[in-house]
Structure formats: structure tokens, C-alpha cells
Structure 1
């Protein structure tokens, strides 16, 4: 039964953008689909994590974090990561869609490969891994299934930095485990430790397998293979394929050494060694067809024709190896069917002659084609003079561009166009991108920006926000940036902390007390002290200020920020109200009426005995007096 018919993701839109169209492959951690980015109208590969792993928050967080790191690794020999997202229970990556086939398909179909083809494949792999290593990334799962060969001859590595040991239950089958453990380094098995030399070990195993058609360690179970990784050195490939150049034996054994310290430090170092070996080998050594192998492997290693990856058809275009030879068919033909052949020979002589002629024409055209074209050699990591001389020695014209790089040293080659391994004419022009070293961003001009805007500008420049301090400033409004350290325009290393100084406003100065002063005088005093004066639109009654004088001011403290605004309120003078007549009343009742009318009360008792009443009231009752003023009562 075709289970793809029941895949619930087929036809689904992820993140309202990616339409899942076809299932391509199923792995231990994820399923890969061909999809369509409906926003950009381009075909993408969608890698969707299995539900069991997507439900693990820690694993999902690591998956997202490392996907973001890989997305920054733009390299011609790496499958690009475009986007990452989650839609319900589907956690996914949107990646570059690479039509073609895997290195596993090629080795399964062709067996051992000629050294030139092996180098044509492995050098681009190392170029991509080298860029990752210099960016601080380790692949951790280099194997033929993760190497893609495109239809136009390019080599791309996929699944960068996304594979780690998964704890707990999983749906990984024994075959998938075997496919992975065959390339695990001893330290990866024993301690779970990974660094660039872990990937170098896996490339050493790949090198052995491509040269011989066999893995160096085999067994009936993953544990048997693991034991061999820990206890048995990888043999020289020439033990299975006699006649291989000793340099290939040496580099294979070094790359796959059990002791990590004996391996090349990273993929860049291994790539440099392979490029040196390629220049040492003769054309006969590079193009030698895999010969007779050791008896134990002879039955399993097919003899392959000399070829290059550009000439390899996809797996579904290769003739099956079990096809019956014509000679065997002839031997098994019944005698009755074998009529006298002299008459019939004339019938097949002409077609066969035509086929032979056609083969000669095709062969001649192929020779002419190969005479005009070559493989783009890898000069990645070489110094500019060495790279230019290497390409010019091959008859190529070289154009150099300068670019910043945080991972490639100044003066060394970052990338080439055409890319490593591409088929090019021998008279082509090659463009080299040479490193100017890391881009040293300049501190942006931040003065006058708000703190939030300044912090964003620092981050956009590739720098980090350092300490934020506040200081008074007469010229910069409160809350805006006064300056930075280092200052604007200074060149810095990426992610250098930039300290910011933010204005807390002008420094405080003495604030004159102008309450009670005539308005003109008060305005002059405040302006002379450096303040801006605003007159309140409404005047107020005041018992303490004459009409036209200042009744109140805001702020009313002893100091204020220089240049700040002071609001003054003008007095209308005292408010006159009727004084209640309280003569003849006892003290308590008189006090109550006067207080309610807005007056203060002062009492003079001339007779302390008995129950005195108000004898004199000043000002007199039924007259008008300023509200808030004092009424004096004399009791007898």
C-alpha cells in the first residue's frame, strides 16, 4: 500500500505560505517534502520534524537555534536554509530544493570511483564543511545520504548542524542506525564529543568508501560496527584496490585516524592536503579505473567505467547490472532457432557497422568536448597570489573581488565563480572573492536619538549595546542620547559593546520665589535666571497678593532644571464676602458661622466666668471683608 496517499501533510499549507506537494524522503528525525513557497513562487524542500521530536521543547528549541545559525552560512556547496517555522504540530525548515541524487545513489550504482572523480566530489564537500568549521559549526552526521549531486554537476552538503544524538524513544530503524554509525568518530561514540575533527573522520570514511566501493567497518549489527570504530584502524584503500597512489592511502588513513589529534584540524586543512595531492598525482593515477580487489571483496565490487560526476546519469537512467549478456543469450538459444547464419549475417552487418560508426563519432565528440572543458579546481582558503597562479597555470583568466569575511583570513580566497567542481571551458574567466578580513562596522551617529532608537541603530550596525548612563545636559532634551563610547564613526569588531550616555535634562539651578511680586517684576526675575515664563490663563483670588501680583507659581520648589518652564498665576486680590453678625451669640456658635463663611476667628475673653457672649465683632457684622481674613470677637 502506498502510505504517501495517507500522509496528512500532503496538500497542506504551512505557515500560510508553503504548500506541501510531494513526499521525497523519510529519515529518523524528519520527513522531507517538495513544496512551493507561494509568496515567492519558488520550489523549496520542506523538512518537517517527526511529531515525537517536535513535542520535545528542548529538542525543538535547539533545532530552531541551530537552524538560524546554519541560515547564516551562505556557501555554494551547502544546501541553503531559507526559513524556519511552526504550524500547529508541524515544526519545519524551508530549504533550497536540489534536484538530482545522493552520493549514496551514485556509489550504490557505480561502486568504486576513479580517484579524479573521488576528488571532484570530496573537494566541494570539504569546501562546504570548511566554511562551516570556520563559522563555528560542526555537521556531526556526514554521510553519503547527506551529500547531494545536482543535475548540473554541483555538489552540496545538507543537514548542517541539525543532527545530534536524540535521547528517548525514536522511530529510527536498524538500517538508519547502521547508515549513521558507519561514519561516527570514536570520540563521538565514547564521549559524545564533537568538533571539526569529527567531520574530518567521517570524510576519511567517505574517501575510503568512494575509492574502494566498501565501508572500512562492517557488521551484522550497529554494535559490531561501533566496536570496530573503537578498536580497529581504517586500512589503506590500496589493500582493496591495488595500484592506488600511496598519497591517497596516506591521506585516507590520516583523516580516519582513531586518535583525533592525528587527523587534520578541520575540513579546510584536509581540503588543502587533497589539493596538494591532486597536483602531485599524474593523469594516469588520477584516471586509473578501480582494478582487481582483494578476494574477500572481489565479488561485491563492480568494475566501473572511467567517468566523471558530470557524466553520471541519474539512478533511474542506469542499466541494471544483472542484465543478461548477449553471449549468454546466444548460448541458451535452442538449436532449432539457430538457422544457418551466413544468409542472416548480411542482415546484421550493416546495422552493427552503423552502430560502430556512431560510437566512434560520439567517442570523438566526447574527446573533443573533454578537451575543451575542465573541472573548476578548488582554490578556497589559498592566498590570492597562490590561487591566481594556480588558475592561470590551468589557462584560466582570473578576476579578483574584495569582500569582508568573518571566517576567512585577510588575503585568502572566500569563494569562486564558477564554484568548485563546476564544468567550465578551459579559456573561462574565473572570479575570486578574496577576504578583506572581518567587516569592522563603524559606530553610528546616535546623538539626539531616543534611547530605544539608539539601541536599535547599534544592533543594526552589527554591534552590541553596552552600559547606559545618564547625565544632565543643557542642550539635549531629557531622554535623548548625548553621545557614545566609542564615539560615532569609530571602526570596531562586530558585536563590540557600545556604551550610551543619555540626557537626564538640564542641571538644576536656583528657582526665584516670585509669589507676591508684581507680574512684570516676577517675569523679569525668572527670565534672568534662565527660565521660560508662562502666565496661567485664569486669575485667582488671593488674600496674600495684591491685584496684578503673582498669587502662585509652578514649580514652586527651591530649584528646577535650567531652561524649563515656570507657570505663574496672577492674583485678582482678596475675595470680599459678607461678615455674619454674631453679636450676642455664644463662642461656639459664633465661631461656626464665621468659619463657614470663610473667615478665621480670633477670640478675646474679658469675663472668664459664667457663659459670656459676643459683645464686640471686628469687622462688624453685615459688612464685607476679604475671604480668609480674621474676624476678632470680644466676649463679655
Structure 2
């Protein structure tokens, strides 16, 4: 269990009696994010709680609620869903989807600088999320790597829509907090005017793209104010100037059109930027298509990247036009785009087809493009004579009729006939060769056009949007797009069972025909039943939890008078309850019988010692003995006298009854010697004394002290009085 999180006073507290705070997940300049359990729906959520002081202003609270409701209306696979909002202890909070994974900031730390294609693939879903927000008239205002989450399945999600706007409207202090927290991505107009629209998100996105491509931010300084000053007064440099690798020698370098895309998105003048994320996404996808086609330099595309209005109506990725190389010495045909990986030897073997001034293939022909074929000399039949009649086409009432031309008769004698036949054969051969050349040119032109189309577009297709579809719909969509679809399954907390969680490659990715697309279908929420571990040995209980894909939580050991040590007495989650993978289950384990310290009561009053032992939980047994040294009623001995024992064990007390009493024998009138022997045999000590009266000196016993027939302790002294 995570014990350090207990330092936060909110941990363990339930907001509005519903959201139980489990642990603190992250802390920022304006709010703290907690992992919490929605006890009503039994799902893990993320709760963002504003810091103290932000919710004291009623106007801010109303704006916060309004922005949270606006963000909750966004429904897109790349947007972190907002489930709920409220106030707890005067502090506003919002409840969001909990995304297990990492942030784009961590990815930048591991991978940056990235290849252009990797960077564009990562950020295209971000633009999809921003475009959806912009179409809903919602501006993010805080686009930065920390707000881009990447799940364990690789799904990209953008968080905190509308929250930055709510905070920035609170007070000047709060606005300063927003600026200070994100100075590396703040657009100039937000600094100068305090106002921002969709183009502010475009600027921040451009800074993020710059950071992915270069591994660092475009503006740095010794203080935050220097960075803000740079945003307002300095242009963002081309990313390639930071990377230093030329596109002429490396395909992983940054091409010129991508440099221009970043600078256009990061233009200090908002009017020069794309108007929203949808336009910027069209530009980014056209750049990505050019990278996939191997185009590293396209002057026309570079120029287009400076004119975002040309992309305003873009709805699909642009396929760059591959041009056929033309003579570099021709002033009407500029150099063709530089490409890597294209079949240049095949192009070199083909004749040059007609091209336009821009170097693109022309698919229509004019008379000047056709080969010049020899034509036979025009002759006039010898028997044809001039006529004074007007041609038929000049007569208004005449019909134009086409008749076969009259045969050409040889001129002169019969010797000229072979020459005329030879001329006719030459004419027919020349016409046949011309038609053959024309046909070859047309076929080659068509082949080049078809090959170019195939290389640039024909063999490519786009992965259709599959998220949220069911298996049958995915198969149909994959067949329509000429893709091979394979399926995998995974659990999901948000996607219903049987629907698509994600696809690889992602939607709108340009791939070759018959490419493999892996689709992950949801198996619904991942839940496992808690096994019954009560009564088992603790080791067996832990094995059972691990086999059930659960984890052992805090183990508490308690004394138990009946269960053996190591036996599980209780679990904090009831057996059979359906919980998520790796849920921690706390156990209560027996330590066995509790040992009790035994105090030695020897020499003390037996009644007091017995009462103390009984109160401690022991059974007390007593035996009685005579003692010459211990007073009656006191403890002579105790067993056991010290150490520990368990509740219900027996402690034996030996209690003194005092010394043993013996009857003093009657030795009256006996001689002193005989009397002494008798008393000593009875266990007494003997002393003699003369009687004070009647002392006759005879040596006989007259009396004794103690007196004859009385009881005295064994070993005590008997005094005999003699007469």
C-alpha cells in the first residue's frame, strides 16, 4: 500500500460522499490530481481539485462550472472525458476519465528529438481532439505536453479542456499563474491582450511540434519573463536549424515544407496562422503524406504551407503529385521534387512524355506533340480541268457530298507506273510507322501516368475510423478499404464489450493496399473475483490472491485465543466481490494466543495474589502447608513463579497455615531427666527453672510453661519448673 499519500488530508476522504480519494497522483500550480474511486459506479477516476483560495470567488465558481460543463459535452476518442464537477470544502473539483499510462512530456524526455514521421504520427490525434473542441467553440488555452496523455495501449488523449479559461478568468493572480506555469507555450496575444481564440491553440501546438522535432523549446531564458518577452518579440526559428541535419543526406531530417509548417503555426501574428486545428490538421496530414511518399523537397508544397487559407476546406490527406524529371537545362521545366526510395532507373528507361511548365505530366496532346510523318506530294489528275462552276460548299442550295477521290493515273508512258507504285508503298509505310510511333507514345505516356498514379495514390489507401465499431462493422470497413484486419482483445474501463478500443495503424493513416491492421476489441471492464481466504494459512492466502491477479494489501496481525498463528481471520474485501486487476486486498492474520506476564506473589497475602491472577485471565489453584517462617494466609510458594503463560492457564499457590502445633505432654512429678526426654521426643526444646515456691531441691517437675495439655508449635521451648 502507498503509505506516503496519507500525508495529504484529502486521502481517505470522500468528496460529496461519492468519490473516495485513494492517493495523490500529481500536483500542479493550480490544482492537485488524485486517483479516486467512484463508489456509486465502482470505477477508478481522476479527480482534479483546485488549490485553496481559487473557489472563494463566486464568479469564478460559476465560470468554473460553466467551463466544466462545456468540456463534458466533448465526446471524442482523443479527449479525456469529463464525468462530473462539484465543490468540496469550498474547493471546486472535476471528475475525469483516469488514463493509465504516461504523458507526452515523458515521451519527449525519452525519444526527442524525433523523426518527422514519428512526431506527426504522435500529434495527429492531438489535432483531432483540438479540432473537435474548436468546432464546439471551446478553446483549450493550455496545450502542452503535460496535458497530452498516452495510455498503455498507445491511445493519445488531451486533458483539461476549458479549465485554463476558467482559471484565467478568476483574478490577475490566477492569470499570472497560468502564464507562469506554461510560459514555454503561451501565444503572444494572450500575453499582450489577455485574449485568445482557436489560433492560440494552434500556436501552442506548433511549439509542441517544434519540441518533438528538436528536443528543446524554441525560446529559453534565465527567467520566465525573458521567455514571455521572446514569444512576443522573436519569431520561432526553423526546426532544421536546430537539428543541423540536412534533408539532402538523411531521410530522417526535417524537410523544408515541415519547417515552414511549424513557422506558420507559430507566427506571432494570429492572422498568419491556420484559423483552427482542423485547418492545421489538413496541413500536417499533407506533410505526412509527402514524407510517406519519400518527397523530401517540394517547392509548391512549401509555398502552400505559408498559405493556410488554401487548406481551409481540406477534408482528407493530400497526396503529393510525383512529377517526371525533365531536362534541367530547360527554363520552362524547374527541377523535380527530390525523392528517396523511388524507382528512378525505371523512369530513366522511359521516353520523356509531354510536361507542363511546372514539370507535371500532361495527359492531353496537341498536333505539335505528334511525330512529324512524311506526306506524299499533292498531285492533280491530268484529266482534271478547271471549271467555272462555284464549289458546292459556296452554293447556298447545294448539298455537300463526299465522294471517293478518282484514281490517280500515271502521267506519261508505261515506264512511270513502277515509280508511282513505289511512291505509294513508301507513303503507306511512312503512315504506318507514324501511327505506330503515335501508338507507342500514347501507350508509354499512359504507362508512365498509370505508374505515377499507382506509386503516388493507386497502391495506397487510408485506414478507416474503426473506434467504437463492432466486429462485423470492422470486417466490412476493412474489406471496403482493401485491408487485412486482425483482431486482438483487451479489457477497457470505458469502451463497451465487443467494440473497438483502438487500431494500429490509427485512423486516417495512409498505408499500402492489403496492409495488416490490428484492431483491439474491448472485453469490457477487467474484473476478477476475490477468492475466499478466511481460515487459510497466510502464505496460502497470498498465493490465492496472486493467482487471481490481485495483490496483497496491508497485513494486520492480532492475538487470537482460538486460531493458530498465521491463520487468516478476515479480509477487507468480501469474497466473491468483482474488482480490477492488481486490487490490493488487506488481510487480518492471527498471531496465536496472547502471552501474559506472571508476577511472583510469594510472601504476599494469598487472597490478593489470587485476585490479581484471576483478573489477568489465569485459573488459580491453592494448597496449604504449615510453615514456621511464613505467616498464616501468606503465599509460601507459587508455580509457575515467573515468565509468561496464556489466558486460562493454571497457576498454583502454596498458602501457609502457620507452624504445626503439638500437645505438650504431662510430665508432672517426673524426674527432670525423664521429663526432658519426653518433651524432646514430642519435638520441643526444654529448659528448667526452680519453682519460686516449694523449692525442696528434689529435682521433680512441678509445672511447665506452656502448661501440660496445651498446644504449642513444634520446636518451641518448654520451661519446666522443678521442686
For the superposition of Structure 1 and Structure 2, which TM-score range results when normalised by the shorter chain? 0.3 to 0.5
TM-score (norm 1): 0.46
**Larger RCO: Structure 1 or Structure 2 (Cα < 8 Å, ≥ 6 residues apart)?**
1
TM-score (norm 2): 0.41
User: If you compute each CA radius of gyration, which structure gives the higher value, 1 or 2?
Assistant: 2
